[in-house]
Structure 1
Amino acid sequence: MPGADDETVPLTVRDGDDRIELAVEPGRTLRDALLDAGLSPYAAATRRLNCDGRGLCATCGVRIREGPPPEHWHDRLADRFGYPRLSCQVTVDGPMSVELVDKLVWGSREQPDGEE
């Protein structure tokens, strides 16, 4: 389809050792883009029990390696303290790189270099 690449932005997803390249329509939430591609930001226990992207349950966290700064209040706190950011509160407007988090329910905090 001519011009199709002009209407999408690249999204790189790391899922364990796998690296998946997606083309996403700008303006989509990261959560919806992941789910549409068959990738889940949820743990097994929360795939069915979640708030459907309203930013209330905090179970759709992913690590954003390259992408927009946090805007949602919960997303800002998560980023500040090293927790995964809510994929339902991130809009894909430009190239992004994210990592799916291995978790039971919520993702764990990343320790700054040198901390244990």
Structure 2
Amino acid sequence: MTGTRDETVPLTVLDGDDRTELSVEPGRNLREALLEAGLSPYAAATRRLNCGGRGLCATCGVRIRGEAPPEHWHDRLAERFGYPRLSCQVTVDGPMTVELVDKLVWGPRGRPEGEE
């Protein structure tokens, strides 16, 4: 049966040398899917200091490989100039590979809370 909530799409997340394979419901917000899986797109300083996914702070940037047309004004600029896209403004509609990146302004990505 097509169109059921059981359908998922593959989401590959690259974090340095680590590779994580996720199955995500089509239509999910990329930032939310990453955070739910414990894969933060944020630098250590911005893990708490961010806009909560409203596309205002530009701290949740990731590199996207594959089909994910930009819909947000920031992502259209990112595509044009080659800088990371906002994970909070990307919808996972099909297979996608995402690379978690260090931030030029905010520094390297920190470890998730609870990890030493």
Bin for the TM-score computed over the shorter chain = 0.7 to 0.9
Q: Is the 8 A contact 1:62 1:98 kept in 2?
A: yes
1:75 and 2:41 matched: no
Q: Quote the Cα distance in structure 2 between the aligned partners of 1:94 and 1:106.
A: 30
Q: Is the 8 A contact 1:65 1:97 kept in 2?
A: yes
CA deviation map 1:4-63 (0-9, x unaligned): 995111000000001100000111110000000000010000000000000000000000
Alpha-carbon deviation of 1:68?
A: 1.0
Percent of pairs identical after alignment? 83
1:7 and 2:25 matched: no
Q: Which runs of 4+ in 1 moved over 4 A?
A: none
Q: Quote the Cα distance in structure 2 between the aligned partners of 1:86 and 1:26.
A: 18
Alpha-carbon deviation of 1:66?
A: 1.3
The answer for the alignment partner of 1:37 in structure 2 is: 37
The answer for the alignment partner of 2:106 in structure 1 is: 105
Q: Is the 8 A contact 1:65 1:98 kept in 2?
A: yes
* Matched residue count: 104
Q: Quote the Cα distance in structure 1 between the aligned partners of 2:84 and 2:67.
A: 13
The runs of 5 or more residues in structure 1 that have no matched partner are: 108-116
The answer for the alignment partner of 1:16 in structure 2 is: 16
Q: Quote the Cα distance in structure 2 between the aligned partners of 1:6 and 1:32.
A: 18
User: Once superposed, what is the RMSD of the aligned Cα atoms?
Assistant: 1.9
TM-score by length of 2: 0.83
1:66 and 2:66 matched: yes
The runs of 5 or more residues in structure 2 that have no matched partner are: 109-116
Q: Quote the Cα distance in structure 2 between the aligned partners of 1:106 and 1:33.
A: 23
